[in-house]
A and B are shown apart, each in its own frame.
Chain A
Amino acid sequence: MIPFWIIAVVLIVSALWTVTARKPIYSVVSLLLNFAALATTYLILHAEFLAVMQIIVYSGAILMLFVFVIALLNSGIAPIVLGRDRVPVAPAAAAALAAIAFVATAIAAAHAPAIVPIASHSPLGAVGRGNVFGSIGDFGQALFLSRLLPFEITALILMVAVVGVVLLAGDLTPYVPTRRRAEQSRRALREAILREGK
């Protein structure tokens, strides 16, 4: 009971810090804290594989991407200066919506079953045993046997994302082996851009 409230406070405070931080890099750090606390919650809720995925994919890949973009945009050129944030009417509206959602979840939770302890498990669930809820064996069987099609569609989505990112942000100039030819092609590209600008 008490660990849940500690983690809940950590989650809410780090989420608030993420939203209100002045510099994006502070937001990244607090989001890292948020993800770590969330991974702990997943572990407690017997989602072992998802706890590991939370750390690897979110903290490892996505947040690193954010850090790289911050470094890329802030190096050499001015930081993103956008003026004032929008008026606090919007957060007030969001808070009102949150109150409505509270009532809705209260009604929904009245009909939900209480979280009962699982009969036999080690403190961290049962790693590798397919018949225990939340173990990696259980998750893998469900993912690859009964829900294979969504998994394959996920692979397609990731491939589309990779192609889209390369098309959007990739360097489309052809590769040139020597420094002199690279300088020539860069100059030709710059002149082409200037010509199109006029």
Chain B
Amino acid sequence: MATSFAGVPIFDYEALASILFFIGLAGAVARRNPLVMLMSIELMFNAANLAFIVFARAWLNNAGQIFAFLVITVAAAEAAIALAIVVVVFRSAPQVDVDDVRVLHG
């Protein structure tokens, strides 16, 4: 199973990662549902992780894997805080537009 993937060139993996990243970017920019926007951001995190792991495999250096691990933990923290903000904003007023949430501008 592993050897069949060894024949895949690194460009194909990187192209896959960039496609996933830009699907996520398009979703985060175009959608208005805050939950779907957050899920698109998760897609972008995962595309970056895939790139890290592919390069770690290509150079046989596990620094990329360590970095992907740190990205996973930071993504978990980000999802928790972002969902808390969504709950706070949309529990009180469910009809709020995401463009109108300007409380965090400071």
Contact = CB atoms under 8 A, between A and B. Distances in A.
Given A15-B43, A94-B22, A161-B77, A66 B30 contact: no
Contacts of A154: 70, 73-74
B1 to A, nearest CB: 5
B31 A123 contact: no
A-side interface size class:
35 or more
A177 to B, nearest CB: 26
Nearest to B9: A114
Interface in B55-106: 55-60, 62-63, 65-66, 68-70, 72-81, 83-88, 90-91, 94-95, 97-98
Nearest to B59: A113
Interface string A43-86: 01111011001100110011001100110110001111111111
Query: Chain A interface secondary structure, helix, strand, loop or mixed?
Result: helix
A98 B22 contact: yes
Given A78-B94, A90-B30, A15 B73 contact: no
A105 B13 CA distance: 10
B33 to A, nearest CB: 6
Interface in A137-179: 138-139, 142-143, 147, 150-151, 154, 157-158, 160-162, 164-165, 168-169
B32 A86 contact: yes
Interface of B: 1-16, 18-27, 29-36, 38-40, 42-43, 46, 49-50, 53-60, 62-63, 65-66, 68-70, 72-81, 83-88, 90-91, 94-95, 97-98
Given A45-B54, A73-B90, A91-B26, 8 more contacts: A18-B23, A20-B27, A27-B35, A47-B53, A50-B68, A53-B69, A115-B9, A143-B66
